[in-house]
Chain A
C-alpha cells in the first residue's frame, strides 16, 4: 500500500528542550479567512428544514431528521460519564456552516484558501492524486470539500464520497443502512446528530473487493460557535476489505465547541473493516479554557458470518472525550476488536471505552485500552462486554492499562460484564502504573534524558495499540504523544 500523506504533523514536531516544553502550544490553532455561510444560532424544526433544503434532500430524509429532533427534545443529556462541564445551551450553537461557493467538480474549483489550510495541515490534496495512495475526503466545518482519487476508486467499484452526494447518487444504499446500526433515537447526541447532521463520508465496498487504497477523512472545525455534526456510513459487502483512517483538528478558541458525530459500520459475510482514528481536536489551554467537546457515537455491526470490525483510536485532543466505539457481533464467528490509546493532559477529561455485544455463535472480541493521565487530566475507561443468551462459545479478552504521570491526575476503570450464556470465556486484566523515578534514572544512566525517556516509556506502554495502526499513522501517533505530553513532568 502506498504511503499515507494526509496527516503529516512532522514539520511542526520539532523537539523543544525540557524548559521550553511548558510553553508548547497547540499547533493547529489557526483559522482560515474564507467566506462562510452560517446559519444563525438556534435549533428548531425550521432550522432542520433549512439544512435539509440546502442539501436538496428527499422527503424521507427530512422526515427522518424531524423524527429524530422530536425524540431528542424529550431526551436529556447523559450524566453518567465521569466528566464535568458547564451545561451546554443548544440554542446558542449554529447548526450549519459552509464555505460559500459550492458544487465542486474538481479540486481546481476548491477555494484556494481552503486548499492552503489543508496544506498547513499537511494534506496536499493536489499532490495526492499523483503521489499518495490515500483517497481523502476532507470535511471542512460541515461540508465535504472534495474527494480525491474518485476515478481510481470508481474503477474498483468502490464508492467513496460525501454523505450528501451519496444521498443523491446512491439513495437506496443510504436508505437501507442509515440508522441501521445507530438508530436515530439511540442516545441524546446521536439523536441530535440525526436531526442536524450536515455532511460526512460515505463508503461502499462491493462484493469480493479489496479496497485498492487506504481511505481517509480529514475533519476540521473552523467557524466560530458552530457545532460539527458529521455522519460516516461504511458498508463492506460480502467478502470485501477496507481500511479507513480518520483525523481531526480544530483552531484554538476560548469558547468550547461541540462535536457530535455518528459513525456506522456494516460488515456483511466475510467482510473486514478496519477503522483507525487519530483525534487531535483542540484540547483547551493549560488552564482548561476552551477546547472541543467531543461526544461521538461510533458503532459497527458484524452483520454477516465471519465478518470482522476493528477499531483503533488514538485520542490526544478535545477538552472532553465521550466516545465508545462498539461492535455488535451478530454473524457467527464474527470478530470485534478495540484498540485504544487515550491521553489526558492539563485539564482534559476523557471517558472512553467500548461495547462488545455478542449475539452470534463462536464470536470473539478483543479489547486493549491504554489510558495515560498527566497534569490534571482525568481518564476513565468504561467498557461493556455482553454475551447474549444464544451466543454459544463467545470469547472476550480485555486488557485495560492506565499510566499516571505526576500526582494531580487520575485514572478510573469501569468494566461492565454481562454474561447470559455459560459457555462464554472471559478474560480481563487491568493494571495501573506510573512512570517511576527508577525507570527515569535507568534511562538517564544510559544517556537518555528525561523528555526522551518519558516518550520512550509511554510509547512502549502504547505499543500493543500502535502496532495495530497503519504504519505511517503509527509514526504520527508516536509523535503526537510526544507533543501532547510535553510539559507533563517538571
Chain B
C-alpha cells in the first residue's frame, strides 16, 4: 500500500524525520508510538502532503506511485485520509455541506459525476449510528463548539464517508472517555478489511486492545528504533521509552 524509503523531512528548517523506513501492505494495521517530539505527527502530515513539511530526500511510494510532489487534494483523491490530532473549525459551514463538498471534490478529481443528494444523505444517515452521533450533528458548523470527543468522532465519520484505502489516525484516541474510545475503535474495526490499511499514531495501548494491530513501531528522534507485535505496546506502557533508549544504546 505505502512504502517509505530513507525519508528525511524538515519543518521550518529543522530536521524532524531522519531516514524513516516503513512498508505497510494492504489490510495491515501499523501503530507508531514514540515520545513527544519524536516526529509522529510529522510523519502523518507528510503522508497527507501538508505544505509546511518539506521532504528533503527519500521517497513515499503509494499504490506504486511516487507521491512526494502531489498536492494534498490529489493524495486525498487517491484514497489517503488523515484524521487530524487537532481538527480545525470552519464557522458557518454545516458539517453535512462540508462532507458533501469533500465527496464531490474527490469525485471530480477522479472524473466522476457528482453524487446524488438523496443517495448521499442515505449513506451518511447509515454511518451516523456507527460513530454514535445523531442527525442534528450534521447541521452544526464543522468542529465549531464540538467537544474533544465530538471532534474525533467527526473525523471517523469523515473517514467512513470518504472510504479511504489508507487511513492515518493521529492520536485519534487522545482525550477520549472509555465509551467514546470504544465507539471509535468499533468504527475503525468495522471499516477494516483486506484491502484497507491503517497507520495509527498513539501514546496508549488501550485503543489498540480493541484493534488487533499487526505491528507496533517505536519512533525516536525521527527514526524507527524498534518494531514488534502488539505486546510491545504493553511493554512500553510498563517500562517507558527509557527502556527502548537503553536497549538501543541511544
Contacts and interface: CB of A to CB of B under 8 A. Distances in A.
A464 interface: yes
Contacts of B240: none
B98 interface: yes
A442 B52 CA distance: 13
A460 B93 contact: yes
Given A437-B51, A452-B101, A456-B98, A445 B92 contact: no
Contacts of A446: 76, 98, 101-102, 105-106, 158, 162
Interface string B54-95: 000000000000000001110111000110100110111100
A461 B105 contact: no
Interface bin, chain A: 20 to 34
Contacts of B49: 444-445
A439 to B, nearest CB: 5
A456 B93 contact: yes
B26 interface: no
Interface string A431-466: 000001111011111111100100011011111100
A461 B101 CA distance: 16
B101 A448 contact: yes
Interface centre among A441, A442, A445 (most CB of B within 10 A): A445
A382 to B, nearest CB: 24
B105 A459 contact: no
A444 B90 contact: no
B109 interface: yes
Given A441-B50, A441-B51, A448 B102 contact: yes
Contact of A449 (B50, B73, B82, B158): B73
Contacts of B174: none
A339 to B, nearest CB: 14
Contact of B82 (A445, A457, A461): A445
A462 B92 contact: yes
B141 interface: yes
Contacts of B76: 444-447
Contacts of A441: 48, 50-51, 72
A457 B82 CA distance: 20
A456 B51 contact: no
Contacts of B103: 447
A440 to B, nearest CB: 9
A452 B105 contact: yes
Contacts of B50: 441
A445 B72 contact: yes
Interface in A447-489: 447-449, 452, 456-457, 459-464
Contacts of A445: 48-49, 72-73, 75-76, 81-82, 84
Interface string B205-249: 000000000000000000000000000000000000000000000
A444 B73 contact: yes
Given A441-B50, A448-B73, A461 B92 contact: yes
B72 A457 contact: no
A447 B93 contact: no
Given A442-B84, A444-B71, A449-B73, A463 B92 contact: yes
Nearest to B107: A447
A457 B75 CA distance: 21
A441 B91 CA distance: 16
Contacts of A444: 49, 71-73, 76
B90 A439 contact: yes
Contacts of A460: 90-93, 141-142
B231 to A, nearest CB: 33
Contacts of A449: 71, 73, 105
B52 A437 contact: yes
A459 B93 CA distance: 8
A482 to B, nearest CB: 13
Contacts of B82: 445
B102 A447 contact: yes
Interface centre among A452, A460, A463 (most CB of B within 10 A): A460
Nearest to A439: B88
B88 A436 contact: yes
A450 to B, nearest CB: 8
A456 B75 CA distance: 20
Given A437-B51, A449-B73, A456-B98, A442 B88 contact: yes
Contacts of A438: 88
B167 to A, nearest CB: 12
Contacts of A443: 90, 102
Contacts of B105: 446-449, 452
Interface string B98-115: 100111011001000000
Nearest to A462: B92
Contacts of B101: 446, 448, 452, 456
A112 B88 CA distance: 54
A445 B46 CA distance: 11
A383 to B, nearest CB: 21
Contact of A447 (B84, B91, B106): B106
Interface centre among B84, B87, B88, B92 (most CB of A within 10 A): B92
A456 B106 contact: no
Interface in A329-372: none
A457 B90 contact: yes
Contacts of A457: 90, 93
Contacts of A437: 51-52
B102 A456 contact: no
A14 B31 CA distance: 45
A455 to B, nearest CB: 10
A457 B105 CA distance: 15
8 contacts: A439-B90, A444-B76, A445-B76, A445-B84, A446-B102, A448-B73, A448-B101, A452-B101
Interface of B: 48-52, 71-73, 75-77, 81-82, 84, 87-88, 90-93, 98, 101-103, 105-106, 109, 141-142, 158, 162
Closest 10 CB pairs of A and B: A460-B92, A460-B93, A444-B72, A447-B106, A446-B102, A463-B92, A447-B105, A447-B76, A448-B105, A444-B73
Given A445-B72, A446-B158, 16 more contacts: A436-B88, A441-B48, A443-B102, A444-B73, A445-B49, A445-B84, A446-B102, A446-B106, A446-B162, A447-B77, A447-B103, A447-B109, A448-B73, A457-B93, A459-B93, A463-B92
